[in-house]
Amino acid sequence: MVTNSVLPGCSPERINDLAAILWCFERTVDPPSGHNDQVTAYLSPSGASLWKQCPRRWWFRYVEGLPEPPPGEPAVMGTFVHKVLEDLLALAPADRTPEAARQIATEYFASFSERGDFQALGFDEAATRRFKHKAWTAISAYFAEFAPTEVDPVHQEMRVRAEVAGVPFFGIIDLLERDGSVGGDAVIVTDYKTGTPPDTTKPWSAEQNAEKLLQPMWYAAALMEMGEHTPTLARLLYFTAAETADGGLVGRTGKLSATVDDDALGAARVELALRWRQIGEAQETGSAEAKPGVLCGWCPFVTHCAEGEAEVRRLHGETNRRTGQPRMRADAPAVVELGLS
């Protein structure tokens, strides 16, 4: 008999909705006695990144399966914008105009607004209009910075599964496009981001941006293992709507990219294997360490984590010398949940 099972919090429905398998199991039950259940786990870029950010948070989500609130507006908007661009790039190049994108967005929103994740936002008519305005501002920013008419898509929303450096890997690539400057089977691996564009001016920017670029570089490594394409560039395209001081909206864009070569692939493979090994060690001990920091303010499991709760309380009680405000933002969900606001 063959059955499939998954850990709490990683149901097939959730995987499809989020387009990211972070930690799931496929179990084959072998009837003959003396055979143990065989369990194969897959790690995605999102899961590997979350492990780096905070192993405890990863553990709560994908091992203990603790309940989480529904996705917030940024995540829901990202889903909407991604789909609009997917449909836009399915058109002939000459037809990929802002007018076509607006028509796609208008038609798609009619059904999108009935989805559970959008309904869970609880928006009234005014908030719904604001959501649509933000989404269109982000899409307009994409048109202002990038050139959809020049894209030659090979695949969109491409599922990849391969063993990378001994790690069973799974992910979904937003866009795989032909690299016309090289020809042949050369491709560019592109992942869309509708969050804040990266900062390149801070002393720690290089390290943070290198971490971000691991995601498309892991995809590139998986493609190399699959042997179907030769990736030449791994990149992240950022386009979002930022609020201005007067309450208006302005489009912001950014881009991170890295050449796919032996050194970059080697470093990415080593890092993926390291995180996989750390996950295995945590499984053996039955726990994972916490990494307290400002992101604890946005962790849905803060009340389950003594270190995280203490960090939120500490930062909320300290003042930023430059702004005079608490070091933990007042709108951080954990501040509200802990009754500190």
Strands (E), the chain: 24-28, 38-42, 153-164, 167-178, 186-193, 230-243, 249-259
Q: Are 186 and 178 in contact (CB under 8 A)?
A: yes
Q: Is residue 4 included in any domain, yes or no?
A: no
* Ordered DSSP codes for 217-252: HHHHHHHHHHTS-EEEEEEEEEEEEEE-TTS-EEEE
Same domain as 237, residue 128: yes
Tell me the average pLDDT across 5-25.
37
Same domain as 83, residue 110: yes
Give the domain extent around 310.
Answer: 294-337
Q: Is residue 201 included in any domain, yes or no?
A: yes
pLDDT at 41: 79
Q: Is residue 278 included in any domain, yes or no?
A: yes
Same domain as 74, residue 56: no
> How many CB atoms sit inside 10 A of residue 122's CB?
8
Query: Domain with 206 in it: what CATH number?
Result: 3.90.320
Same domain as 145, residue 31: no
Q: Is residue 6 included in any domain, yes or no?
A: no
pLDDT at 198: 87
Distance, in Å, from the CA atom of 200 to the CA atom of 208, rounded to the nearest integer, reads 9
Same domain as 211, residue 138: yes
C-alpha of 48 from chain center: 11
Sheet containing 186-193: give its strands across: 153-164, 167-178, 186-193, 230-243, 249-259
Per-residue model confidence as pLDDT tens digits over 225-242: 999 899 999 999 999 999
Same domain as 266, residue 172: yes
Q: Is residue 2 included in any domain, yes or no?
A: no
Same domain as 95, residue 143: yes
Same domain as 100, residue 77: yes
Per-residue model confidence as pLDDT tens digits over 285-303: 999 999 999 999 999 999 9
pLDDT at 323: 84
User: pTM for the full model?
Assistant: 0.86
Per-residue model confidence as pLDDT tens digits over 163-211: 999 999 999 999 999 998 888 899 999 999 999 998 888 777 888 999 9
Same domain as 252, residue 111: yes
